[in-house]
Structure 1
Amino acid sequence: MEEEPQELKRLREKARGRLPFQHQGRTVYEWEQGLDEVSVYIQPPPGVTKHHFDIKIQPHHLTVGVRDNPPYLDADLGGVIETDSSFWMIEDGELHIHMSKVKKGETWVSAFKGQGEVDPFTQQELQKKLMLERFQEEHPGFDFSQASFSGMAPDARTFMGGVKYQ
């Protein structure tokens, strides 16, 4: 069996973990998604604590800033979220914003509209990840950790009658 090229391995790993959004060579935030959530990670400036943040989580929009300053991030989301079950916290010195998707199983191509849309290959890898999460949720007694797809992964949201809401 032929070994996978290094660039392809790197792209697959990228799709399984956090996806960075960079501007002018600097990481602005990282993000990742699961079947029913999207998480954004921001490294706060030194000395900034939870009491300094001004964060507004809305169904279509997120604003993150430090009080009495212009927002650091003020953008429309890549999808729609449930505000009641979305929250933010500081964890291990990092700002973590957890947002619950309204459309469970939907594959977001970016955390924020117009900011770092993933390439088609990474989008397909994300879709595979979400599909495996869906299989695991629907069949908790089985281990899908070594499963793979040959060809294109189906849409986790609509495949075989659609995703089940719990």
Structure 2
Amino acid sequence: ILLFKAHFDERSGEVCVNFPGGRWWQTLDEVYIELQVPEGTRGTQVVCKIGVNNLRVSLTGGQSLLSGDLPKSVRPDESSWTLADRRLLQIVLAKASPDPVQSCWPCLLVGQPEFEPDPLQRDQMEKKLTLQRFQYENPGMDFSGAEITGNYAGGGPQWSSS
């Protein structure tokens, strides 16, 4: 099941939000961030502080790349970052909430509009996470090519457990 879940986004695509110098996207469990850094940057030059409710990313010398409060909590000990090809900083934030209905982040950093998806992107994110939730709940079915319509804000439809 884990292998199948891990490849859901590869088959169904991702909804990326571009911002100056990078982009971000999310799954039910994680938020992914890619930041362009000056070519030749070394890992020792990166300062990445992942808190439960905030994120601070800078380069030694004071160049701030990201800084602010997160819209929802993360698990810092399960989050990580890596520097690819000495020019692309990749950050993975592990979402703290196990509740798939509340898992969609409305933005990357609170109060910073450049990190917010536009309304169409937000709707697409909600739908993508709803499909991923359906996949988790029904591991024998393939929802990667499925399309859904309607307002799926808040994780999509709720069914009674009876």
TM > 0.5 between the two? yes
Greater relative contact order structure (CA < 8 Å, 6+ sep): 2
Q: Counting strand residues as a fraction of each chain, which structure ranks higher?
A: 1
Aligned to 1:56, which of 30, 39, 49? Answer: 49
* Aligned 1:16-55 pairs, distance under 5 A: 16-21=14-19, 27-55=20-48
Amino acid at match of 2:155: A
Stretches of structure 2 that go unaligned for 5 or more consecutive residues are: 1-12
Over 3 Å counting, the alpha-carbon distance change for 1:86 and 1:158 in structure 2 is farther
Give the Cα separation in 2 of the matches to 1:108 and 1:161: 25
Pairs within 5 Å for 1:74-113: 74-92=67-85, 93-104=87-98, 105=100, 106-113=103-110
Report the CA distance shift for 1:100/1:161 in structure 2 as closer, same or farther (over 3 A): farther
2:131 match: secondary structure: helix
Structure 1 gaps, min length 5: 1-14, 22-26
Distance 1:17 1:57 in 2: 23
8 A contact 1:78–1:113 mirrored in 2: yes
The answer to whether the 8 A contact 1:16-1:125 is kept is no
For residue 134 of structure 2, what is the amino acid of its counterpart?
F
Q: Which moved more, 1:27-36 or 1:61-70?
A: 61-70
Q: CA–CA distance in 2 between the matches of 1:161 and 1:41?
A: 39
Aligned position for 1:4: none
Q: Quick one: percent identity of the two aligned structures?
A: 31
- The aligned counterpart of 1:139 is 138
Contact between 1:88 and 1:95, CA under 8 Å: does it hold in 2?
Answer: yes
Aligned-CA RMSD value = 2.3
Q: Distance in 1 between matches of 2:49 and 2:16?
A: 22
Question: Secondary structure at 1:72's aligned position in 2?
Answer: strand
SS of residue matched to 2:130: helix
